[in-house]
């Protein structure tokens, strides 16, 4: 049995739908991952074969102003899960982020390249990666720019703003791969089925800027919206962002035979689904 921690989140709900009867989900009301005692109580009772941790404090700017909370949720919580899963002989699957990189390389990142987070969020997620290794049977899946039907995300924000404004300014100097949580869930399942270990990158193929992504959202939705360019330095956000943090997903394809679809096709499919 597979236990999904953070089962009510955006990725968690898609994992639960995909895995069906093979999965059981827990969320904040069931387990406090910042407490080792709470984690042990739940895991020792359920005794899953695999634990997928889809729980995280993902408010990047919020992490900057609440570093202790960020480290507790994204770092220490993973240590508790790693220790408990190791004790019961279960695999730990930890979902991580492109924000562990500084974005200065200028080409897609491989799994074994040096990390260098710029923000508290990135530091806390990197701590989570390190702590996941307390369980020798660990799988870390780095991804980026997530959106899905079950949570707040960039696509929904753009569609909401389109009902309020006639033009927008969106950052055009951050480059990445928008990733649909349904496709990420499929990648995680493929990795689990192949019993993969270590670090893997999983994101929809191709890349764009946030500005290009916004324009694609409006184009695919049939919305006439002017999208002006905006530099990251002019955005005035508390947390620094990596400017070019695309992920090389070749290892995922080689080891599982699974490749996530192109980001624009994923966006089309997402928009079709949300209209149903």
3-state secondary structure labels for all residues of 141-205: EEECCEECCCCCCHHHHHHHHCCCCCEEEEECCCEECCEEHHHHHHHHHHHHHCCCCEEEECCCE
Question: Over 80: is that where the pLDDT of 275 sits?
Answer: no
Lowest mean pLDDT among 58-62, 144-148, 261-265, 271-275: 271-275
Active-site position among 121, 138, 244, 270 = 121
pLDDT at 253: 98
Question: Over 90: is that where the pLDDT of 241 sits?
Answer: yes
- Over residues 191-200, the pLDDT tens digits come to 999 999 999 9
pLDDT at 36: 95
Who contacts 111 (Cβ-Cβ below 8 Å, separation ≥6)? Answer: 142, 198, 199, 200, 201, 248, 251
Lowest mean pLDDT among 71-85, 154-168, 171-185, 256-270: 154-168
pLDDT at 150: 83
Which residue matches tokens 């869930």? 185
- Give the distance, in angstroms, between the CA of residue 199 and the centroid of all CA atoms in the same chain: 14
Catalytic status, residue 121: yes
User: In percent, how much of the chain has pLDDT > 90?
Assistant: 94
Report d(CA 259, CA 276) in Å as an integer: 26
Q: Buried b / exposed e across 181-205, counting CB within 10 Å, b at 16+?
A: bbbbbbbbbbbbeeebeebbbbbbb
Instruction: Give domain 2-153+177-205+246-262's CATH superfamily.
Output: NAD(P)-binding Rossmann-like Domain (3.40.50.720)
Classify residue 75 by its DSSP letter: I
| Structure confidence at residue 113 as a pLDDT band (50, 70, 90) | very high
Report d(CA 53, CA 96) in Å as an integer: 10
| Structure confidence at residue 213 as a pLDDT band (50, 70, 90) | very high
CB 62 within 8 A of CB 103: no
pLDDT at 276: 65
């Amino acid at each position: 049995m597979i236990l999904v921690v953070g089962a009510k989140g955006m990725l968690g709900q898609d994992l639960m739908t995909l895995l069906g009867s093979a999965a059981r989900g827990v969320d904040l009301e069931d387990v406090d991952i910042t407490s080792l005692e709470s984690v042990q109580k739940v895991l020792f009772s359920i005794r899953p074969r695999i634990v997928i941790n889809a729980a995280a404090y993902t408010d990047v700017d919020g992490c900057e102003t609440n570093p202790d909370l960020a480290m507790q949720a994204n770092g220490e919580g993973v240590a508790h899960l790693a220790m408990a899963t190791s004790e019961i002989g279960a695999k730990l699957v930890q979902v991580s982020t492109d924000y562990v990189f500084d974005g200065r390389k200028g080409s897609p990142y491989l799994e074994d390249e040096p990390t260098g987070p710029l923000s508290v969020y990135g530091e806390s997620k990197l701590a989570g990666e390190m702590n996941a290794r307390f369980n020798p049977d660990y799988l870390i899946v780095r991804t980026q720019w997530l959106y899905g039907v079950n949570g707040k995300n960039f696509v929904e924000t753009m569609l909401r703003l389109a009902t309020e404004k006639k033009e927008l300014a969106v950052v055009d100097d951050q480059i990445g791969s928008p990733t649909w949580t349904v496709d990420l869930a499929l990648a995680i399942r493929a990795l689990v089925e192949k019993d993969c270990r270590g670090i893997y990158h999983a994101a929809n193929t191709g890349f764009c800027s946030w500005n290009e992504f916004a324009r694609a959202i409006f184009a695919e939705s049939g919305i006439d919206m002017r999208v002006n360019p905006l530099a990251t330095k002019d955005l005035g956000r508390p947390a620094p962002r990596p400017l070019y943090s695309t992920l090389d997903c070749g290892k995922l394809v080689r080891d599982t035979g699974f490749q996530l679809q192109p980001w624009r096709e994923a966006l089309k499919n997402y928009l079709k689904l949300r209209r149903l």
